Chains A and B, each alone.
Chain A
Amino acid sequence: MKKTCLAMMTVSLLFAISLLTACNKKENTEQSTNTTSEQQAAPAGAATPIDPATAAKVSGTVKFDGTAPKPAKIDMSQDPGCKGPNEAEAVVVEGGNLANVFVYVKDGLGSRTFDVPNDAVVLDQSGCKYHPHVLGVMAGQTVEIKNDDPTTHNIHPTPKDNREWNESQPPQAAPLQKNFAREEIMLPVKCNQHPWMKMYINVVKNPFFAVTDKSGKYEIKGLPPGDYTIAFVHEKLGEQDQKVTVAAKDTKTVDQTFKAGGM
């Protein structure tokens, strides 16, 4: 019986150690991913010029096939400073069209480099929600974060490949100016004071991206002729890719459909 006891203790201990080791391995893997991304984020030099006379356009509509889930209700009662629409924006479908899908050129640009825009992209906190819910930005581009609510928020991105930070922003405080150095798709941002507040920032290295509006539409302009992989990414429904070839001055329609079963 004593042996049984010892055996059970040993098995339990080994079980715990192996799990902890597994956790460490995961952390190590994440660290090495970070290093790789850091290397990729090295200065790229001057931007590769694109002839505007040959620039093409890709646009389309993203559809949702199936019965859309009912939007989850948000309970904002824990903060009287929070007033506004109280429905979650995880899956927004209107008339079969899917909003908040990030569409970008994932592959096909080769070694081209692009200038980072000087204009900041605005992320607003209003009605204790983020506006927009999904945002696209180039690596290194400034994101200006504003608080239009009469309550304090904290902005907390939880990236995999970028630096994590967490800052509070009281009402009427000056906007925060932030940027993300490395490419990262669907980087979650949350507010720990208001746990329903979630949004996603997509950091890419090229300017060819868009987010679908409520009618599911998107448009990517100024694309040089070539063969590309267009990625459609949704926070819950995952990623779907399409290959497309555009010639000079082409206007291509590339639609995409996400199925309800993908959740």
Chain B
Amino acid sequence: MQPASSVAKQSEGMSEEHVLKFIARPYNQGHHRFAVTLASWTFLLLIAGALVTSNDAGLSVPDWPTSFGSWYKIPKLVGGVRFEHIHRMIAQVAGLLTLILAIWTWRVEKRRWLRILALAAVGTVIAQGILGGLTVLFYLPPAISSAHAALAQTFFCIAVVIALFTGRQWIEEQPRIEFDTRRPALFTLTLLSIFVLYVQLVLGAIFRHHGMSWWPHVVNAVVVSFVLTWTAIRALSLYAHIEAVRRPAMLMLSLLIAQLCLGFAAFLTRVAWGKDAAQPELPMVVSTVAHVAVGALLLATAVVLAIQVWRHVPVAFEERIPQAHQDPSAA
């Protein structure tokens, strides 16, 4: 935490109201770094989970919540056990980090909604752990395994937005606001992007867990490409001068291209060439795990873009404009 004098110095030139707001929620570097650590750890956890599925190792440890009957003993990490047990260990640490972050947030954070979000993260990570257990106990039913995969990325998005909201830029910047009068509004497009990406995530997860064919995921990829390109082009063509909007929009477009290439590679290695493989081969494991990881980054980037658009480019309803102009830092 910064000393009050330093805060006051930095806030020179601000109105009294802004200074009060600024002091009310000072940037806490340790708290933010911990939130970033949780988001990064969650990304690692996603990769570990994807490795379990790609190596068909989901049931190599047949029991849960124990591993081969033990709560603490680490089994010999060979074969599928290596992927499954390491995934469980990373998940346990993620749960612990989430709990610490929630307690820390409740102690230092003044924003009530952020404290609730940190609590929601704890609820999500518990639900995720239970889903992971159920998928083992019920022998990987597609519905539960797919829900486990979808909730994993939901949790990742929560961790990313907590890191965003605790960041220095979010707390200290005076948002530059431009009202969006076009229809559909950019904010609507970002919400649509999140929606189609989430549908895509669910379709991909059901396919990966043998709940349906590959084609709905591939067909929806066309819809996703269209919506995300539309959103990114709108953001970059009209609001490229707002850095907080430009950066996630650029990233979203780049990740979309990478994701399409990885999806094509995953399709070739797993569906076209690998259907008669005796075991999961390295190219199919690498391409599918990378496809899952980049998919998670893409979803999180779309969420960040939506939040930044909501803050910087709010929808201009006629009745809102006069009031919003009076308090441009409300977001």
B is bound to A:
yes
CA distance A142 to B280 in the complex (A): 32
Return chain B residues, CB-CB under 8 Å to A154: 59-60, 62
Residue-wise interface mask of A (11-39) relative to B, using a CB-CB cutoff of 8 A (1 in contact, 0 not): 01101100100110000000000000000
Q: Which of the listed residues B76, B78, B188 has the most CB atoms from chain A within 10 Å of its own CB?
A: B78
Q: How far is the CA of A209 from the CA of B183 in the complex (A)?
A: 70
- Residue A167, interface by CB 8 Å: yes
B188 near A5 with CB under 8 A, answer yes
- Contacting A at CB under 8 A, from B59-109, are 59-62, 68, 75-76, 78-82, 84
A1 to B75, CA, bound (A): 57
Assess whether A81 is interfacial by the CB under 8 Å rule. Answer: yes
Verify B196–A12 contact, CB threshold 8 A: yes
Q: Which of A112-120, A131-139, A180-188, A189-197 contacts B (4 or more CB under 8 A)?
A: A189-197
Q: Which of A12, A22, A156 contacts B223 (CB 8 A)?
A: A12
- The listed residue (B62, B195, B280) touching A9 by CB distance below 8 A is B195
Cα(A154)–Cα(B85), bound, Å: 14
Chain B residue numbers with a CB within 8 Å of A88 are 278
A9 touches B76 (CB 8 A): no
Q: B79 contacts A193, CB within 8 Å?
A: yes
| Interfacial chain A residues near B268, Cβ < 8 Å | none
Residue in B57, B184, B227, B281 whose beta carbon sits within 8 Å of that of A193 in the complex: B57
- Does A75 sit at the interface, judged by CB under 8 A? yes
Q: Are A151 and B276 also in contact (CB < 8 A) when A23-B206, A166-B62, A166-B139 are? A: no
Q: How far is the CA of A8 from the CA of B279 in the complex (A)?
A: 39
Per-residue CB contact flags for chain B residues 170-214 toward chain A (1 = under 8 Å, else 0) read: 000000000000011000110010011001001100100001100
The chain B residue sitting closest to A69, CB to CB, is B276
A74 and B206 in contact, given A8-B227, A154-B62 (Cβ under 8 angstroms): no
Asked whether B142 is an interface residue with its Cβ less than 8 Å from the other chain, the reply is: yes
B143 is an interface residue with CB less than 8 A from chain A: yes
The complex places the Cα of A10 from the Cα of B58 at a distance, in Å, of 34
A164 at the interface (CB under 8 A from B): yes
| Contact size range, B | 35 or more
Complex: chain B residue closest to A236, CB-CB:
B276
- CB neighbours (8 Å) of B184 from chain A are 1-2, 4-5
Q: How far, in Å, is B136 (CB) from chain A's closest CB?
A: 9
- B55: interface (CB < 8 Å): yes
Expressed in whole angstroms, the Cα–Cα distance for A168 and B81 within the complex equals 11
B78:A78 contact, CB within 8 angstroms:
yes
Q: Assess whether A23 is in contact with B211, with CB atoms less than 8 Å apart.
A: yes
Within 8 Å by CB of B276, from A1, A81, A90, A158, lies A90
Q: Are A79 and B78 in contact (CB under 8 A)?
A: yes
Give the total of A residues in contact with B, Cβ under 8 Å.
41
Q: Can you list, as one digit per residue, whether each of A225-245 has a CB less than 8 Å from chain B (1) or not (0)?
A: 000000000001000000000
Q: How far is the CA of A242 from the CA of B189 in the complex (A)?
A: 61
Residues of B within 8 A of A75 (CB): 279, 281
* A45 at interface by CB-CB < 8 Å: no
Least Cβ distance of B194 to chain A in Å? Answer: 11
Chain A CB count within 10 A is highest, among B80, B206, B220, for B80
Complex interface bits, A147-163 against B, C-beta within 8 A gives 1, otherwise 0: 00001101010100000
User: Which residue of chain A lies nearest to B58 when distances are taken between CB atoms in the complex?
Assistant: A192
Return the contact of A194 from the options B80, B142, B212, B281 (Cβ within 8 A): B80
B277 at the interface (CB under 8 A from A): yes
Q: In the complex the two chains form, what is the Cα distance from A134 to B80 in whole Å?
A: 23
Q: Residues of A contacting B55 with CB < 8 Å?
A: 195
B34-62 interface code vs A (CB 8 A; 1 in, 0 out): 00000000000000000000011111111
3 nearest A-B pairs in the assembled complex, by CB-CB distance: A88-B278, A193-B79, A196-B279
Other than the given A152-B68, A168-B68, A192-B60, 11 more pairs (CB < 8 A) read: A1-B183, A4-B184, A8-B227, A9-B192, A72-B276, A78-B78, A78-B82, A80-B78, A192-B57, A192-B58, A195-B280
What are 27 A-B contacts with C-beta separation under 8 Å?
A: A1-B184, A2-B184, A5-B184, A5-B189, A8-B192, A12-B195, A16-B199, A16-B202, A23-B206, A72-B278, A75-B281, A78-B78, A88-B278, A151-B76, A151-B79, A152-B68, A154-B59, A156-B62, A158-B139, A192-B60, A193-B57, A193-B79, A193-B80, A193-B81, A195-B57, A195-B280, A196-B279
